[in-house]
Structure formats: structure tokens, C-alpha cells
Amino acid sequence: MILILLTLLAGGFIGWSIGANDAANCVGVGIGSRKMTLKQATVLICVFSFLGAIMLGHRVIKTVGKGIVPLDKIDPNFAMAIALAACFGAGLWVLSATYFKLPVSTSHSTVGAVAGAGLALGTVIVWRKLFDIFICWLLTPIGAALLAFLLYHPIRRLFYVLVPRRLSEPLLTVLIFGGSIYLAFTWGANDVANVTGVIVGSGTINLTTAMIIGAIAIIIGITTWGKRVIETVGFNITNLVPLAAVVVNLASALNIHIYTMMGIPVSTSHSVVGAIFGVGLVRGVKAIQKQVVRDIILAWTLTPFAAGFLSFLIIKCLMFMKIV
């Protein structure tokens, strides 16, 4: 009973930390374009990330819950211990990154943490699935950057040719809000698995309850600490004009939507930052704040290993205390 309670609390903790870090991915560029206020952004992301989690979240939950370590096929106590360690280890790393205003991958954190906990207990790890996820991790920012780079000029030409000048500003605002809604929806669909995937896989709660709990935990994180990373995504990588923000949102959301339909947990942070980088390249490399990008890439590289190491240590502590 104690292990179940601790596991549910750990799930709530990682949900809160994910909301605090990843809220910036959906609304940072909208706020950076000065077309959206922080209050508007908070309401938007809470509503549409919740809808995404409820409507499509089941696809990625199955991969995180059973695809990396087959939790449904190992000892129930071991499965619950892995869920506890993975949630708590990943949550600690994401919380640390949020403190330093760095947009890291919660997907990378969770996957690394599950693998680390599995290694600590000596359970079966599906290395082939981990390899497939790793390849998608590499492709996520590259694909988003490429999409943004290719879409920017056609969308810009169409916009200024077809839209009368008096309607350009109102339409830009509508497009930014629409893109942020789409991105929030796909983010909720993909990232709710990072909150509850391992808990569902361990058999602690059912899929529907997990999606609701995960979505609520994410919303609490958004509303309490989400603005820290928003500053980095919205203002510190490159200055975004409103039309560039539209392209970033569209490229990022399309990228994440594809992976979600495939059931693959990828990084919304990687997708958004990659798209911002792609738009920055259109304007020239000098427009990009290289030091900020360097710090973000370093945090990305460390993420799965740091989260995996933390969950490994947590499992060893549980074993030392004879809880597992």
C-alpha cells in the first residue's frame, strides 16, 4: 500500500514538473511575438493540452508503459518500484532544468529513467525499442527545423499577397492562437505518457484514470511555475516576428503529431527549439543566440543519462531499505 501511494505521488510530481517546463513549448513563441499575454497562454494550454491528453494520450502511454521495460510481464513489486523510481528520477531532473530556465525533454527524461530503473533491478530492457526511440529523438529537432525553414518563405509570400493590409494584424493574432492551440493539443497527447505511462504499465491504475490524473498534474505545473522556461523559448533564442511565430507553431505541431500517431514519445522541446532554429536560419545564423542554443543542447544531451542515473540510485535506495 505504501509503494502504491508513493508511486501515485511520484506520478503527480513528474506531471507538475512537466507542466512547469514544457508549457513554454506551446506558448513561448506566441508570447515572444507579443500577440499573446501570459494569462491567455495559460488558459489556452491548460484547456487544449487536457483535450489532447484525453483524446490521443493512450497511443504513447502504451509505449512508455510496456515498450521499454515490459512491466506487465515482470514481478508486480518490481514493476511498481520501476514506476516510482522513473517518475521521481525524471521529475527531479526536469525540476532542476526548470530552475535554470532550460527547456529539456521530458520524454527523454522519462525514457532514460525507466531504462535506469530497469537496469538497477536487472529486468529485461527492450533495447530495440530504445534504439528506435533514440533515432526519432535525433530526427525530431532536425525535422522541425527543416519544416520551419521550408515553410517560412511560402507562407510569408502567400500571407502578404493574399491578405489585405488592414486585416494582416488581426489575422496574425488568430493564426498564432490557432497554432498554439494545435501545438498544445499535440503536446498533451504526447507528453501525458511521461506522467502516467509507467504507472499504467505497472498495473497501479487504469488507462482512463491515468490520462485524467496526468492531465491535471500537468495543468498544476503550468499554472504554478510555467513562466520560467517561457522566457527562454519566447525571447532568448532568437527574436521572433509574428509570422515567424506562426511558422514555428505549425512546424512543431505537425512534427509532434506525426510521432504521436506512431506511438513514439518525442520531445516537444526539441521540436519547438528546432523550428525556432530553422526560422532563425532563414534570417541568418547571426540572428540566433548561440550561447543559449549551446546550453540547451548540452542539457538535452545530459537529460536521459541524468534521469536514468537518478532513477538507478532511487531503486538502490529502495532495495537498501528493503521496500523492494
User: What's the pLDDT tens digit per position in 78-93?
Assistant: 888 999 999 999 999 9
Residue 1 maps to a domain = no
Backbone torsions φ then ψ of 316, nearest 5 degrees? -65, -35
Residue 91 maps to a domain = yes
Residue 4 maps to a domain = no
Q: Could you give the CA distance from residue 25 to residue 230 in angstroms, rounded to a whole number?
A: 7
pLDDT tens digits, residue range 237-279?
A: 556 678 888 998 999 999 999 999 988 888 887 888 889 888 8
Beta strands in 15-146 (DSSP E): none
Cell numbers for 289: 543566440
CB 116 within 8 A of CB 89: yes
Residue 69 has pLDDT above 60, yes or no: yes
Residue 2 maps to a domain = no
Residue 3 maps to a domain = no
Residue 90 maps to a domain = yes
Q: Which helix (H) or strand (E) element contains residue 298?
A: helix 290-320
Q: Of 104-113, 287-296, 302-311, where does mean pLDDT reach its minimum?
A: 287-296
Residue 22 maps to a domain = yes
Residue 61 has pLDDT above 60, yes or no: yes
CA distances from residue 209 to 53, 54, 102, 153, 200 in whole angstroms, order as listed:
11, 10, 30, 44, 9
Residue 231 has pLDDT above 70, yes or no: no
Residue 230 has pLDDT above 80, yes or no: no
Residue 308 maps to a domain = yes
Contacts with 147 (C-beta within 8 Å, 6 or more apart), sequence order: 250, 251, 254, 255, 275, 278
**In total, how many domains does the chain have?**
1
Q: Which domain holds residue 207?
A: 10-320
Evaluate if pTM is beyond 0.85. Answer: no
Residue 160 has pLDDT above 60, yes or no: yes
